[in-house]
Amino acid sequence: MPEPLLEVAGVSKSFWGIQALADVDLNVYPGEIHAITGENGAGKSTLMKIIAGGEAPDQGSIRFSGRAIAMIHQELLPFPDLSVSENIFMGRELCRRIPGWIDRGRRDCEARELLSDVGVSIDPRSRMGDLTVAEQQSVEIAKALARCADLVIMDEPTSALSDRESEALFRIITGLKQRGAAILYISHRMQEVLRLADTVTVMRDGRRVGTCPASDLNEPLLIEMMVGRALNPASKRKSTPGETVLEVRDLGRPPHFEGVSFSLHRGEILGLSGLMGAGRSDVASAIFGLTPATRGTILLNGRPVLVRSPAAALAHGIAMVTEDRKEFGFIPDMSVKENVTLSSLARFGWGPFIRSDVEATVAEQQMQRFNMRAAGRDQPVKFLSGGNQQKVAIARALLADPEILILDEPTRGIDVAAKTEIYSIITDLARAGKAILLISSEMNEILSLSDRIIVMREGVAVAELVPDTTSPEEILRYAIPS
């Protein structure tokens, strides 16, 4: 048996009086893919931050015998005003022979090769802040590869990637393993865990509840270990969509998308599918007024409207949960209560004042509805797990009681139990007559929830499919550029 590359012994950590980790032990070996699973708030990300040096444990020890550790965070940490290549080589700049002179040509060339290895075509000179979340995720993966680390920590690395981009990542992970590197892989996608991992450690409520070979597990057993009970799968919804609520005609914002037309009906879930960069999120952002379209028409209940800002969208009964929760989904330093009620403050107003007692009651109700794990309604959102932050964003959108709800990657970074809850919420909203535009990179999610599917490719809507009569293969055939 080889010596462990990483040894974690008796590590504990608490925040805000909540025990995030309690006496956790973990061994990771060279050339091993070691998956860490558990519900939101189980302590996975906290443990990874401690291993990577981003947090100090309250007690316990860590021994690492390698040279470098690279971590791909669930919440991306880019330098938005720098180029892609500058982000990739931040802290290890490539210099010319003259001291202090950066070799930009070599840096861009090596960045382009790394991005190609990841399976994406991104100009290394592009401004990082202009990329989509999925593209930024790919850059972070390339950055980790550039460090040639002995241990690579991947916290939900495929959460913003489509199936095709995920396959490219899996090939990279296999290559890292063959090179002798160890990978700590956090994911809520059980199929990924069982497919990739050699070893699986399950965490619950800050404790390690078990470590075993992946070959000894199946999906139901793994889920039961994570949540402490079996989960009943959601049944396929039978829908009877009503009249048209939203219609877009020849909508465009070149070069991101153009000529997009579709309708959305009351009580319908319309899925928007496609590869990274296909324009799905750009279309949603235009409808919500985050980045307005430059051409085309948006009609609500048959009447043309101008939506030039999120405030205008909310006034028209359109709410959105964006794919980038850190940028647009919440205000990190504000409390759970303040974030949940932020878009609906008029409901709690008394003249120029906010009725804090009513606001607090509603926030508590939303926390219970979404099973948020927090120290209380006054805890800053930045201290919540990624999945609980996502629940805050969804709760805020629904509290506005919109007629149309746009959900862009609504279960990104959310565990299987929370996914089941959110799927039920989405289908219940549709039954109640809400019109829902759903964007997801998870093929099973799109197929199981949608009534119709619009497939986008290179900024154009190329197909409309019915889930009962299509397949993942057919969707990919339309989505992949010829």
Using one digit for the tens of pLDDT, what is the confidence trace for 118-165?
777 899 999 998 887 778 878 888 888 787 789 999 988 887 677 777
Query: Given a cut of 70, is residue 219 above it in pLDDT?
Result: yes
- Whether 294 and 421 map to the same domain: the answer is yes
Higher pLDDT, 245 or 480: 245
Q: Which long-range contacts (CB under 8 A, 24 or more apart) does 144-147 make?
A: 144/70, 144/71, 144/72, 145/114, 145/117, 145/118, 145/172, 145/176, 146/88, 146/89, 146/92, 146/110, 146/111, 146/114, 147/68, 147/70, 147/92
- Whether 405 and 475 map to the same domain: the answer is yes
Query: Given a cut of 90, is residue 27 above it in pLDDT?
Result: yes
Residue 414 belongs to a domain: yes
Whether the model clears a pTM of 0.85, i.e. scores above it, the answer is: no
Residue 436 belongs to a domain: yes
CA distance 439 to 298: 19
- Whether 332 and 466 map to the same domain: the answer is yes
Within 10 Å of residue 425's Cβ, how many Cβ atoms? 16
Q: Give the total number of structural domains in the chain.
A: 2
What pLDDT, on the 0 to 100 scale, is given for residue 160? 67
Query: Given a cut of 60, is residue 463 above it in pLDDT?
Result: yes
- List b or e across 61-91, with b for residues whose CB sees 16 or more CB atoms inside 10 angstroms: eeebeeeebbbbbbebebeeeebbbbbbbee
Q: Give the dihedral sign, CA 231/204/321/444.
A: negative
- Whether 221 and 255 map to the same domain: the answer is no
pLDDT class of 72 with cuts at 50, 70, 90: confident
Query: Given a cut of 80, is residue 112 above it in pLDDT?
Result: yes
- Whether 222 and 280 map to the same domain: the answer is no
Residue 237 belongs to a domain: no
pLDDT tens figures, 355-388: 888 889 989 998 988 878 788 899 998 888 777 8
pLDDT class of 231 with cuts at 50, 70, 90: low
pLDDT class of 98 with cuts at 50, 70, 90: low
pLDDT (mean) for 47-63: 93
- Whether 173 and 273 map to the same domain: the answer is no
- Whether 221 and 344 map to the same domain: the answer is no
Please check whether residue 372 is in contact with residue 332, taking contact to mean a CB–CB distance below 8 angstroms: no
pLDDT (mean) for 285-301: 95
Residue 458 belongs to a domain: yes
SS3 288: helix
What pLDDT, on the 0 to 100 scale, is given for residue 237? 58
DSSP assigned state of 177: H
Residue 238 belongs to a domain: no
Range of the domain at 456: 244-479
Contacting residues for 425 by C-beta, under 8 A, at least 6 apart: 394, 398
pLDDT (mean) for 28-40: 91
Residue 235 belongs to a domain: no
What is the separation, in whole angstroms, between the first and last Cα of the chain? 49
pLDDT (mean) for 279-299: 95
What pLDDT, on the 0 to 100 scale, is given for residue 394? 87
- Whether 193 and 289 map to the same domain: the answer is no
Lowest mean pLDDT: which of 137-146, 179-188, 445-454, 460-469? 137-146
- Whether 25 and 160 map to the same domain: the answer is yes
Beta bridge partners of 438: 271, 407
Tally: H helices and E strands in the chain:
15, 21
- Whether 190 and 338 map to the same domain: the answer is no
pLDDT (mean) for 247-276: 94
Query: Given a cut of 70, is residue 238 above it in pLDDT?
Result: no
Query: Given a cut of 90, is residue 308 above it in pLDDT?
Result: yes
What pLDDT, on the 0 to 100 scale, is given for residue 297? 96
Distances (CA, A) of 344 to 6, 81, 200: 48, 33, 43
Residue 314 belongs to a domain: yes
CA distance 332 to 443: 31
Structure tokens at 215: 């070959």
Asked which of 202, 227, 252 is the last residue of a domain, the reply is: 227
Domain containing 251 — which CATH number? 3.40.50.300
Residue 255 belongs to a domain: yes
Higher pLDDT, 148 or 447: 447
- Whether 47 and 180 map to the same domain: the answer is yes
Averaging pLDDT over each range in 116-130, 151-165, 187-201, 256-270, which range is the top one?
Answer: 256-270
pLDDT class of 430 with cuts at 50, 70, 90: very high
Distances (CA, A) of 87 to 91, 171, 232, 351, 436: 9, 23, 43, 48, 36
- Whether 364 and 318 map to the same domain: the answer is yes
What pLDDT, on the 0 to 100 scale, is given for residue 32? 96
Q: What share of the chain in percent tops pLDDT 70?
A: 94
Query: Given a cut of 70, is residue 1 above it in pLDDT?
Result: no
What pLDDT, on the 0 to 100 scale, is given for residue 99? 67
